[in-house]
Amino acid sequence: MPHLFRPSTPQNRYYAWFLALHTRVDVLLLAPLTESEFQKVEEAIRAELSAVERMGNRFNMESELSQAVAAAAVRPVSLSPELFSLLARCLQAHRETGGLFDITVNSPDFTPGLINAVQLTPFPDVPGGTLSFLRTNLPPMTQGVPTRQGGSSSIILDLSGILKGYALERLRVLLPSHGITDALINLGNSSILSLGTNPSDIPSGQCLTTSGNATADRCHIRNPLTGKFITGQRHVSVITPNGIDGEILSITRFL
């Protein structure tokens, strides 16, 4: 994608945008780097977001998440430490929010409490663990997702409500390793990370996260306690020190 490089003293500015995580990503970097050095940082950001997609994009049947959900319909399946940790945080958030944060809410035949069928078992001596579904808690699987193993799962694990915040936290770690301490990373205008000094009103080191309906017709957030979608053009924005916490808090406050 085209980018903009602006030399200045003491910080040079680099801006670029591209598509990732099913949204537009805007990147503003400020550092005493050359244009070619900035481009290498942009490539690293793209690679990091691609890795997040390969792990947690439920719309990609080749992602680790999709393959794990399909396999877990038949037997416990091993997860990478990254995905295991993220799913564990989602289950924790479900408990902390009284059920308002629920990654099973877009499942076929969803019923409140379906998330209790999701079982995570940590490995005893190494990071990571296994995913399985407690079958006695599952609704009828007439609309299940077919798997390569011949089984089916009536559960969808949807990380869309947390994945962008997770990606921002990965970029928070990545950027300093490339000499970037001042930056503004915008994922779809709903998840924004502010680092160091940059031309925004978001405090340094904080994330601005927004959840809601951009228009009256776009009702895409479902209340797990009632099963109904929230209607009306409205939104809630929060500022938090951590992007994952921001995603959880903005959704629950919106509901």
The residue from 98, 127, 153 where one domain ends is 153
The string of DSSP letters for 140-190 reads: P-TTPEE-TTS-EES-----TTTHHHHHHHHHHHHGGGGT--EEEEEETTT
The residue written with tokens 């399909």 in the block is 70
Predicted pLDDT of residue 137 = 58
Q: What is the CATH number of the domain that holds 230?
A: 3.10.520.10
Q: What is the pLDDT of residues 57-91, one digit of tens each?
A: 999 999 999 999 999 988 999 999 999 999 999 99
The residue from 102, 125, 153 where one domain ends is 153
Find the DSSP H helices in the chain. Answer: 35-56, 64-72, 81-96, 163-174, 243-254
- Tell whether 13 and 69 lie within a shared domain: no
CA distance 64 to 116: 21
* Beta carbons within 8 Å of 173's beta carbon, 6+ residues apart: none
User: What is the value of pTM for the model shown?
Assistant: 0.90
- Tell whether 86 and 31 lie within a shared domain: no
Task: Give the tokens for residue 208.
Answer: 């601005």
Domain that holds residue 143: 64-153
Q: What is the pLDDT of residues 117-160, one digit of tens each?
A: 999 999 998 999 999 998 655 554 433 443 333 344 589 999 99
- Tell whether 220 and 249 lie within a shared domain: yes
- Section 25-44 average pLDDT: 97
- Tell whether 174 and 238 lie within a shared domain: yes
